[in-house]
Amino acid sequence: MTTTQASATSAAVSSTEVLSTRRKTLVLLICCVSLFMNYLDSTILNVALPVLQHALHADEAALQWIVDSFLFVLTCLLILVGSIADRIGRRKVLVVGLIIFTIGSLGCALSSTVAQLIAARALTGVGGSMLVPTTLSIIRNTYTERNELARAIGVWSGIYGLACACGPLVGGVLIDNVGWRSIFFVNIPVGLIGLVLAIRFVPESVARRVRRIDPYGQIAIFLVLGTLIFTLIEAPGVGWIGARTLGGFALCLTLLIVFLLIESHTFEPLFELRFFRNPAFAGANIIALLTFVLMTGFLFLNTIYLQLVRGLSPMGAGLATLPLMLSLAICAPLSGRYLSVHGPRRAMTVAAIVGGSAFLLLSFTTVTTPSLLLALYYALLGIALGSVNPTLTYTSVASMPPEQAGVASAITSTSRQIGSSLGVAVLGSLVATSLAASLRSATFPPGISSVLRAATIHAGIGALGSSAPTADLTVHQLVASGYTEALHLAWYIGIGCCVVWLLVARIATTPTALRESQNNGSEDRPIG
């Protein structure tokens, strides 16, 4: 071969490699945009809750359902959709997910009642459940070299922090200048662009070995979570010790036992219970659940506090929450480096201590706490939440054999989403109950009629945004003070969760509990 021919051959190979790298980068970008849209839909909604409460005449329970309808459906379908994508093709499921997500967003934007918005949010959750597992599987299939794969997964994992940082601020700007419907309309062009690019550039792939679908386990997990969330959200209105609430908890416990029996006798269950015999894996999932209970519960309650108690606009609330989001986004990638040097035990311990300290400081806040102090508390909480997430992913996957890493990761993702669903339901309901009790025992100003007092107590958190119960400024201040005190209950629970988090981390991440594993190759096969 002549020198000229060799140069031409080398140039052709180089060109092919460049094109291949560009194709991989484009696939990664498409996956990250799809995931970003999914996460942004959750974080952008929080700043709109007080506006939605006024526009749609929604009470506390309705606000919880608006948030949880999306999270509940996404949580229940996550593992099932991953199995279906492995069977029929990841690109197909990604494309269908983008279509459903876009249609659901359009339905949310056009909703005129609470029921319509909840239904549209649930449809969006169906689409969202197709975006999370398929994007990660597509990235694993696209990047076959280990170092490239690690970097790609690092970028993919960082999308959550970026969405958290952008959501409140973008939502505030849109709501203040365009209106609440714009936070849903913004998903439509992004979804359409992602759809066209996915069809054009994302390669199709299926798994070499496909897990069986577990229909009975899927139905059971829907019933368990649905019953639990419904009971928790409705409890403040019907009473925590009422027959309806106690019956709901009893039914949920019965369904949970049935679910466990089904999963323990299924060859390839939806939820691999045997994995929880591994202390590191079990501990990572417990901490994942607690972490996302705190994160979603905090974002839900704190946004209401900032707007209805402290009187900030949606944009102002987004700016006030920015220290939390920025510290979360910055610490998420940095924690991987800390983890590699100090190990998961120390990383989780530090995160638990910082998180507990943040909730302890928040429990001393009042209506007049300086904004600078709040920003400091939010930043500390963001450091804790941002630091623990990569550690959880590492611990859950590294503690299992490589051939089980995909299933282990899916279960941990489901634990996160269960925590997200319960965070809004549990903390929101407890705060609503505490506020109602505080108002019942409060001394109302002279001249306030019994009817107005009863309406204020019944409205609870809605009294902060409603004009009728808050005609008297003093009454509004009374309700605002009561809500601030009720929030302290949630922050006390946050401290308790961080203590449990710390204890579990110390037990689950001992050197003997952790077992490192190596990647023995992909289980995926490309099509075409």
Write the CATH number for 448: 1.20.1250.20
Does one domain contain both 208 and 220? no
pLDDT score, position 523? 43
pLDDT score, position 471? 46
Local structure of 3: helix, strand or coil: helix
Does one domain contain both 384 and 434? yes
Does one domain contain both 135 and 225? no
> Which residue range forms the structural domain that includes residue 254?
215-267
Question: Which residue, 183, 165, 166, is CA-closest to 174?
Answer: 183
Question: Does 133 fall in a domain?
Answer: yes
Does one domain contain both 190 and 230? no
Q: What is d(CA 130, CA 134) in angstroms, rounded to the nearest whole number?
A: 6
- Quote the tokens at residue 70: 């999306």
Q: What is the DSSP letter of 110?
A: T
Question: Does 285 fall in a domain?
Answer: yes
pLDDT score, position 4? 47
* Length in residues, the chain: 528
Question: Does 483 fall in a domain?
Answer: yes
Q: What is d(CA 183, CA 174) in angstroms, rounded to the nearest whole number?
A: 7
Does one domain contain both 434 and 375? yes
Does one domain contain both 281 and 253? no
pLDDT score, position 310? 85
Question: Does 1 fall in a domain?
Answer: no
Q: What is d(CA 135, CA 141) in angstroms, rounded to the nearest whole number?
A: 10
Question: Does 4 fall in a domain?
Answer: no
Does one domain contain both 301 and 208? no
Question: Does 322 fall in a domain?
Answer: yes
Last-in-domain residue among 178, 196, 212: 212
Q: What is d(CA 243, CA 373) in angstroms, rounded to the nearest whole number?
A: 43
Does one domain contain both 288 and 387? yes
Element (H, E) at 524: strand 524-526
Q: How many domains does the chain have?
A: 3
- Quote the tokens at residue 388: 């623990």
Task: Judge whether 522 and 146 are in contact, CB under 8 Å.
Answer: no
Measured between alpha carbons, how far is residue 112 from residues 38, 44, 125, 198, 451 in Å? 23, 19, 19, 32, 29
Adjacent-strand bridge partners of 205: 526
Does one domain contain both 28 and 160? yes
Task: Judge whether 322 and 165 are in contact, CB under 8 Å.
Answer: yes
Last-in-domain residue among 198, 232, 267: 267
Per-residue pLDDT of the chain (528 residues; tens, 9 = 90+): 554 444 444 444 443 444 477 888 888 888 888 888 888 887 788 888 888 888 888 877 888 899 889 988 988 888 888 778 878 888 899 999 999 999 999 999 999 999 999 999 999 999 998 888 788 778 877 877 766 766 776 677 667 767 776 788 888 889 888 899 999 999 999 899 989 999 988 888 777 766 777 888 889 988 998 899 889 888 877 788 888 899 999 999 999 999 999 988 888 787 788 888 888 888 888 888 998 888 888 888 888 888 878 888 888 888 888 898 888 878 876 776 676 677 777 888 888 999 999 999 999 988 888 999 999 999 999 888 888 877 777 777 667 665 565 567 678 778 888 888 888 888 888 888 877 777 666 555 555 545 445 545 555 555 555 544 444 556 667 777 778 888 889 999 999 999 998 888 888 766 555 544 334 334 444 443
Question: Does 7 fall in a domain?
Answer: no
What's the burial of 226, exposed, middle or buried (CB within 10 Å: 0-12/13-18/19+)? Answer: middle
The tally of CA atoms less than 13 A away on the side-chain side of residue 40 is 25
Question: Does 528 fall in a domain?
Answer: no
Q: What is d(CA 491, CA 359) in angstroms, rounded to the nearest whole number?
A: 5
Adjacent-strand bridge partners of 525: 206
Does one domain contain both 59 and 195? yes
Q: What is d(CA 502, CA 291) in angstroms, rounded to the nearest whole number?
A: 11
pLDDT score, position 511? 58
Q: What is d(CA 58, CA 114) in angstroms, rounded to the nearest whole number?
A: 7
Q: Crossing angle of helices 60-88/3-46, nearest 10°?
A: 150
Does one domain contain both 295 and 187? no
Does one domain contain both 451 and 355? yes
Q: What is the DSSP letter of 306?
A: I
pLDDT score, position 378? 93
pLDDT score, position 104? 95
- Quote the tokens at residue 441: 């025992």
Is the full-model pTM beyond 0.85? no
pLDDT score, position 124? 95
Q: What is the DSSP letter of 206?
A: E
